[in-house]
Structure 1
């Protein structure tokens, strides 16, 4: 994981419609940048739906939610439509941004070793600094954990 209190690397990735977004486009707002393995898998669906269920709270707080995976824009389009996901899903098919954020790792499943996305989340401040790095997050609690981290940051900053 990248270190907290460091500048989050800027990137340019397309959304489900093919429009390119840069992290720097969101300066002045907090950003939840969550990385997940794959559209339409059970854990990733629960994670995305939890963010969707809490989306109104994130919006009220002026926080942008962005999901990133190596899935294609077309896959994101179907996933977002199927589950009515109200936030950006960005496509990183060559996993350049996944690597940049240190979430593209060797994984072992059923004794097989392969490279893949480790489910991780970054909370990025208005100035582009990483406020919270959350490795190996749980799909069911990730959105609530991010809201708790926002509460803790707000409390610490008075």
Structure 2
């Protein structure tokens, strides 16, 4: 019994260290890079691509799972601040690896008026280096990318505090737009 437990602990430790090494060696997007293009479906089955938002700022936020405490709090803050974001010429798009049906239930339950896209294969999250792929489980990391009207990455948020993230983006948009004048 003890040998079996030690075996599983050793396997878990190797998996953890291997994943940490893999995660730390992956290239990341940088400020000024072209935002990776995407084409995903929303809750109604309509295709959305980055090109659809040309001329607008895009708040592209990746989140782990619909209807979980942190993801719900983040989405509701975006919902509550949506008018301010839209006044700053920004569109909010949420992406996770959940299905369209799951997104639809989530959007209806919390009255989310912005676009949620289903990245069930994790390809878009992977292109943005926002995917955790743990053997059998794919989950989006809680990362946000602020993309300018020319589809360039202008801000990357790797450490997101869901309680004030939308306000942080509003302030960053104001700062970016005041510097552009």
So what's the TM-score if we normalise by structure 2? Answer: 0.80
Residues in 2 aligned to 1:127 and 1:33: alpha-carbon distance in whole angstroms: 14
Secondary structure in 1 aligned to 2:58?
Answer: strand
Displacement of 1:2: 1.1
Q: What is residue 135 of structure 1 aligned with on the other side?
A: 158
Match of 2:172 among 135, 146, 149: 149
The Cα offsets for residues 85-137 of structure 1, whole Å up to 9 and x where unpaired, read as 01000000110001000011368xxxxxx653220100000000001011131
Q: What is residue 39 of structure 1 aligned with on the other side?
A: 66
Residues in 1 aligned to 2:138 and 2:122: alpha-carbon distance in whole angstroms: 10
Residues in 2 aligned to 1:86 and 1:152: alpha-carbon distance in whole angstroms: 25
The Cα offsets for residues 48-79 of structure 1, whole Å up to 9 and x where unpaired, read as 00000000111222211000000100011110
Which has more strand, going by share of residues?
1
So what's the TM-score if we normalise by structure 1? Answer: 0.91
Match of 1:77 among 104, 116, 122: 104
Whether the 8 Å CA contact 1:118–1:136 is kept in 2: the answer is no
Displacement of 1:157: 2.2
Runs of 4+ with deviation above 3 angstroms = none
Q: What is residue 15 of structure 2 aligned with on the other side?
A: none
Give the unaligned 5+ runs of structure 2.
1-27
Residues in 2 aligned to 1:62 and 1:147: alpha-carbon distance in whole angstroms: 11
Which has more helix, going by share of residues?
2
Count of matched residue pairs? 153
Q: CA RMSD in A?
A: 1.6
1:117 and 2:140 matched: yes
Residues in 2 aligned to 1:117 and 1:137: alpha-carbon distance in whole angstroms: 13
Residues in 2 aligned to 1:80 and 1:130: alpha-carbon distance in whole angstroms: 26
Structure having the higher Rg:
2
Give the unaligned 5+ runs of structure 1.
108-113
Secondary structure in 2 aligned to 1:50?
Answer: helix
1:90 and 2:113 matched: no
